[in-house]
Structure 1
Amino acid sequence: MIICVYSSYAQKEIKQKANNTWKENIKEVVVTGQINPQSVKKSVYEVKVINRKTIENLAANNLADVLNQSLNINIIPNTSTGKSSVNLFGLDGQYFKILIDNIPMVNDEGMGNMADLTQINLDDVERIEIVEGAMGVEYGANAVSGIINIITKKTTKKNWEIIPFIQEESIGNEYNLSNQGRHIQSIKIGKNINEKWYTNAVFTRNDFNGFLNEQKGKNHPFNDGLRGHEWLPKLQNNLKALVNYRGKVNAFYKFEYFNEDVNRYSREVRTNFNSATQTSNPSASDEYFFSERMIHHLNLNGKFHKKTHFNISLSYQQQVRDIEQFTYRILPQERINVERTEFESRKVFFTRGTLNDFIKLSNINIQSGYELNLIDGFSSPMSNPLSGDQVNRSLNSYDVFTTAEVKATDRLSFRPGARLMLTNKFNPLLAASFTTKYIFKNGLEVRGILGRAPRTPNYDELYTFFVDSNHDVRGNEALQPEIGTSSFLHLKKKFWFNDYNSSWQTKLSSWYIDVKDRIELTVTNNTPLQFQYNNIDLFRTWGIENSHQIQHHNFGFNLGISLRGISQVLDSSNFNDDFLYTIQANANLTYKIPKWKTNLALYYKYNGPQYQFIQEQNEAGETEFRRGKLNPFSWFDASIRKSFLNQNLDVSLGARNLLDVTRVNTTAAEGGAHSEAASNLLLGYGRSFFLRIQYNLNF
């Protein structure tokens, strides 16, 4: 769905009248979910594209920076871990996949799912393609609500391309050149060796010094709850390299190395008072987390027998997260009793291959393929690896799939497909989909998508074993995959004015998603209190959305609004939830001044109140349900980008979160085993300003 109100266009047509014939230049080509790369207008799927221009207007360094303005997407930061996850249509990151060049990306907690958006760097990204709805046929399990496919740049028109940049950014009102704010340095070097070979390398360093707000940092010596940070500091280093070959058989090899250090400083300070000397030697128990990711990706694609297309990808990926626990003596600023342990681990071998055009039919293109996914690792922190043996497990899948694109007429096409999934853990699973497109004579485009896709249980749900004197939380190896069914309908029409110098595109979309056998943590015993994951609940969401994109010469304006309802049937608590509704709206305005070589951009997104039923105990000790509310809030960003020195030097100046959002009040949070429910959520770190300077040395 092209709903996000960016100045990027999933379809940009330029029509010219010459010799009484129409010439149509389709500029945007997409690959996500396609049998062959094709324009968005020809695609059976509705694909939303965020292009490089939008990424640069937002000065976006990671995926969280750019998705925050999208409708139906909510970025959920976890300030206690430093991670940011994404929620799509009310479903969390377990229900959709993040891909890089059609390959799911490994992360601390999964393969393609549950990724930390702040760990996905965008410096080599050409565009981001988003398809919403069940994509299980094309991309396997856990693609229930959709996929996000990040397409990297693999060529350049220049002989040499050398692009260094620096970016300085405040974190709220906190900034200096040493230990406050956000400091980013990057350099990209690309080279066309000859007409067939291209190579590049990109290195980026991102130093995010955290958000103190009311806190006093790691060297605060008093036990008043003010030590540490509101938002954890982190340091990231990211190295990428690419070799690309263009010939009868195209090939590329990509390598990525990523590491991240996250520092968590305890708010509890031990004063260690010595009555004999009347002195204190305050200390605290702190933790450092170290993530390390390595990705190898080899792709081969081309033709044989002059017509049959093949595309084969092989990937080995690994992500390891270590924890370093120690005692920090605050006054001498030294660490003692340091212990380092491997905390989480994923090692993955992935391969995917497709064949199409192997049957010569004029109006039918059939694609068949396989996907092999071998994951070895151990489960999340809930498995308590620091107090016992690690829980090593493998989750393997072996899939085959077939899809056919049928062009019934020049205006009508449809695409059925099915995938058989075999795993080492579950019974055979089936994903199926049916997509159709019809273009009316007046240019109205109609697309309908119906799909079914499973979600397989994750490591927590299968293998958790966290039992001590206060807790008894266990996984369940007998869990069955959830089954998600979704339907989407899109109506889109583009109008041209002023001798085709102006355009207006409007779109109306609706959707319905149903998830059965939803896995929840349930009470299996009251005395003593015990919890276990079980297939017990249902989830339903539906909504409608309307968007408009207006382009007039160098002026662009986009506007969108969506209404979404969510219902959860909480059988685990003998409670049926009615539909609860929320509204989102966004708008953006861009203006290009060619004479000044300047681009102006404004982005706004309104998040309406969000409701959720939560359970709590009343004065009689009985469990009851009430409707909680997360108050509305808005994001507002602005930037100005200007080119100097014959467009070799780009300078961007802007602001994020101009409305100064930090904590948002809520009554929709439940308390933990030893804590009361939070009365507010930290969703932003306040109004921030950035300056980005980039030099493009191309020759």
Structure 2
Amino acid sequence: MGQIKLKDSLQVKKIDEVVITGQFSPQSLKKSVFNVKIITSKDIENLSANNFTDVLNQYLNITLQPSGLNGRSTVSLFGLDAQYFKIMVDNVPLVNENGLGNNIDLSQINLNDIERVEIVEGSMGVTHGANTVTGVLNIITKKKIQGKLALRVGVQEETIGKEFSFFNKGRHIQNFKLSYSYKGKLYFDLGINRNDFKGFYDTKYGKFYTENDGNRGFRWLPKEQINGTATIVYNTDNFTLNYKSEIFNELVKFYNSTVQSGYHDDLGYYRYTNDKRYFINRLFHNFNFSGNLYSNINYTASFSYQKQERKVENFKFNLYDKYESNNDLFKDQSMEVYYSTGSLSNFFNTNKADLLLGYELVSNKGFSMIQKENNILEPIEKRINNYDFYVSSELSITDKFSLKPGLRFSIQSLFQNQYASSLALRYLFDKGIEMRLSYGTSYRTPNFTELYSKQIFDGHFFSGNEKLIPETSTSYEASIKKVRDLKNKTILSSQLSGSFIDLNNKIDMVLFRFNPDTGNPEYQYVNISRYKVLNITTLTQLKNQKTSVSLGASLVGVSQNIDNQLFYSGKDYLYSFNCNANLSYSFSKPQINVSLYYKYNGRVQQLVEGVTKYEISKIDSSNWLDFTLQKKILKGKIETSVGARNILNITNINQSGVEQAKGHARNTQLMLAYGRSFFVKILYNLNF
């Protein structure tokens, strides 16, 4: 990729170009046995991203799954959704209202604290536990500054399609951060970020529209996010203490498109709607200790408390007099987590061998309001614990050849105990050629919704299943890369990689019976399918001090073997093709940086359950093009950015073959984006 530089061996000569994800201790990318991709804070600034969705939108193999109906943005990797891909902050999985580390809403992640992002594709079950079938994404936060005191203030204004005004339309972002460092031993920062998305009207007419023709409300729901963070770091020669705290609040507004009529003795005839507000709140605390024992053994331990909950407020809104009534606020979902992980390493005073012993303790308390028959809401609360222990070693057979085996044992409170294993190797050939091979097993435990959810209404029946068992996977990966130094300090890197994932006992919601009394179909989550993924990816990068060019392509094949006892899906592979091409150039005079990002998401085919057989649903291809121009003035104190996102004006894309899925009609239009948008961003930096 271009300005989203997936920096592997291109910059290994930099002393600070190190990775920590999946490593015993920070080390260079070239020495890592895993293929680690890095996105830096500079890359994020060059994108002028308004949330984490914009950052990952250019990443090959990742497909974004935004929703204008609930405001969430998640990802899928290799065709598997966000439940198989773990997102962490400083090696600690991030909570959401339905789980830990998975199915995270990317729009809720604060960009201002990010130092870099490390992405490892493939099974990471040994080092990072459950739900890492397709990989992990680790957000490393900022913990130092240049100088003693730093102040950063930013404002960003962005159109939503063609819609913009300073108060009622568009997106409006403000952020502030104050950082302090004392003699390299003490670091402290406070930050706040506000992201106000006013919604996308498109052909709708907003909150106060009074006609019952389906045009009231918004195509994409308005939402406001406020994120506050605090960090404390204390360093000595052999000890480091990190404390990270975050408070996140989000308000999503739902305006019903159905307008109803009523009569009141005092008011006469009036029109009203049944609207909703969603309140999402997250609390994050994490303590991390690291240092040395006996001048040799390295230790690290994290202790985290997190909670995220979603509350729903239902109310009746009078469109004539513009007032609310019958307000009912209740908790809909929540997840409370106590989490700890730690390790000991560097037992041997040699560079030839290392051993790591680690643990992970997780206690999740989930809550959900389920909908039973006759629209009766019933709360359900459950606690799920797991206690994991793992061991891994790294053997440097020669300077060029290294091995890394590992094993994890997980004691589960709800399921059978689980295991994960891995073996990775790296070999450095002459002339800058690197080869990596890996094998790994992992598992995904059923989430709270799959286990306990229930929705029964108007002839529909969708239910969780407490008898579900964890999914298990085996993955294989291979890559070869060549790095060449050209003239004028130019580096050319080319990489070809392939992977295969075999997933057993995949959980899907399927038709499991017809009600003997009503004849209505009933659906339930069950372990019924086998899922295989074949992936081939190529990436070429050319980089020097002024220019960065990147070309990438990926072919993904998915085979899903489903048997719901009524009919069978078959084993054929369904393929999709993706590619990207990015260019960045820095002009010395007048000190302007220009970046262009392009990504092609090929047609996706997937199986959906029909009435008599499994149908192939096809999602059309899409093209995404972004442009950013940046300039720094007053010796970098002021940074300005202007640009355009989604230049090709993508909004909805077609999905065919889904009319019979899940027993009722479904939309054939997927809401992918809200069209072409333009932005202006100004940052003020002050350092002492």
- TM-score scaled by length of structure 1: 0.94
Q: Kindly indicate whether residue 537 of structure 2 is the aligned counterpart of residue 545 of structure 1.
A: yes
Q: Hey, what's the Cα distance between the residues in 1 that align with 2:374 and 2:589? A: 61
Q: Hey, what's the Cα distance between the residues in 1 that align with 2:458 and 2:186? A: 62
2:602 aligned residue: 608
Q: Hey, what's the Cα distance between the residues in 2 that align with 1:662 and 1:35? A: 44
Aligned partner of 2:250: which letter?
A: E
Aligned partner of 2:607: which letter?
A: F
2:300 aligned residue: 311
Residues 59-98 of structure 1: pairs in structure 2 closer than 5 A: 59-98=48-87
Counterpart pick for 1:523 among 511, 515, 520: 511
Counterpart pick for 2:7 among 6, 9, 27: 9
1:268 aligned residue: 258
Q: Hey, what's the Cα distance between the residues in 1 that align with 2:328 and 2:381? A: 21
Q: Hey, what's the Cα distance between the residues in 2 that align with 1:301 and 1:488? A: 32
Give SS of 1:64's match: helix
Counterpart pick for 1:346 among 310, 319, 335: 335
- The answer to whether the 8 A contact 1:8-1:51 is kept is no
Deviation at 1:13, TM superposition (A): 3.6
Aligned partner of 1:514: which letter?
A: D
Q: Judging changes above 3 Å, is the alpha-carbon distance between structure 1 residues 663 and 158 closer, same or farther for their aligned structure 2 residues?
A: same
Q: Judging changes above 3 Å, is the alpha-carbon distance between structure 1 residues 386 and 445 closer, same or farther for their aligned structure 2 residues?
A: farther
- The answer to whether the 8 A contact 2:375-2:457 is kept is no
Deviates more, 1:501-510 or 1:523-532: 523-532
Q: Judging changes above 3 Å, is the alpha-carbon distance between structure 1 residues 78 and 540 closer, same or farther for their aligned structure 2 residues?
A: same
Aligned partner of 2:346: which letter?
A: D
1:289 aligned residue: 278
Deviation at 1:524, TM superposition (A): 2.6
Aligned partner of 1:540: which letter?
A: K
Q: Hey, what's the Cα distance between the residues in 2 that align with 1:526 and 1:660? A: 44
Give SS of 2:83's match: helix
Q: How many residues align?
A: 681
2:580 aligned residue: 586
Deviation at 1:213, TM superposition (A): 0.5
Residues 378-393 of structure 1: pairs in structure 2 closer than 5 A: 378-379=367-368, 387-393=376-382
1:21 aligned residue: none
Deviation at 1:299, TM superposition (A): 0.4
- The answer to whether the 8 A contact 2:370-2:378 is kept is no
Aligned partner of 1:523: which letter?
A: L
Deviation at 1:386, TM superposition (A): 8.1
Q: Hey, what's the Cα distance between the residues in 1 that align with 2:343 and 2:372? A: 38
Give SS of 1:596's match: coil
Aligned partner of 1:201: which letter?
A: L
Aligned partner of 1:36: which letter?
A: S
Q: Hey, what's the Cα distance between the residues in 1 that align with 2:485 and 2:174? A: 43
Q: Hey, what's the Cα distance between the residues in 1 that align with 2:369 and 2:25? A: 38
Deviation at 1:81, TM superposition (A): 0.9
Counterpart pick for 1:185 among 135, 154, 174: 174
Q: Judging changes above 3 Å, is the alpha-carbon distance between structure 1 residues 115 and 40 closer, same or farther for their aligned structure 2 residues?
A: same
Residues 128-527 of structure 1: pairs in structure 2 closer than 5 A: 128-247=117-236, 248-272=238-262, 280-379=269-368, 387-468=376-457, 470-498=459-487, 501-527=489-515
Aligned partner of 1:305: which letter?
A: Y
Q: Hey, what's the Cα distance between the residues in 2 that align with 1:58 and 1:380? A: 39
Counterpart pick for 1:38 among 27, 45, 48: 27
Deviation at 1:382, TM superposition (A): 6.2
Q: Judging changes above 3 Å, is the alpha-carbon distance between structure 1 residues 380 and 444 closer, same or farther for their aligned structure 2 residues?
A: farther
- TM-score scaled by length of structure 2: 0.96
Give SS of 2:9's match: coil
Aligned partner of 1:9: which letter?
A: K
- The answer to whether the 8 A contact 1:107-1:319 is kept is yes
Deviates more, 1:463-472 or 1:307-316: 463-472
Q: Hey, what's the Cα distance between the residues in 2 that align with 1:669 and 1:291? A: 31
Deviates more, 1:546-555 or 1:647-656: 546-555
Q: Judging changes above 3 Å, is the alpha-carbon distance between structure 1 residues 245 and 541 closer, same or farther for their aligned structure 2 residues?
A: same
Give SS of 1:137's match: helix
Give SS of 1:115's match: coil
Deviates more, 1:37-46 or 1:675-684: 675-684
Give SS of 1:57's match: helix
Deviation at 1:381, TM superposition (A): 5.6
- The answer to whether the 8 A contact 1:347-1:376 is kept is yes
- The answer to whether the 8 A contact 1:185-1:205 is kept is yes
Provide the identity percentage: 38
Aligned partner of 1:136: which letter?
A: G
**Structure 2 unaligned residues grouped into runs of 5+:** none
1:19 aligned residue: none
Q: Hey, what's the Cα distance between the residues in 2 that align with 1:103 and 1:405? A: 23
Give SS of 1:123's match: coil
Give SS of 2:219's match: coil
Deviation at 1:383, TM superposition (A): 7.4
1:311-359 deviations in whole A, cap 9, x for unaligned? Answer: 0000000111100000011122111000000111111100001000124
Deviation at 1:407, TM superposition (A): 0.3
1:568 aligned residue: 560
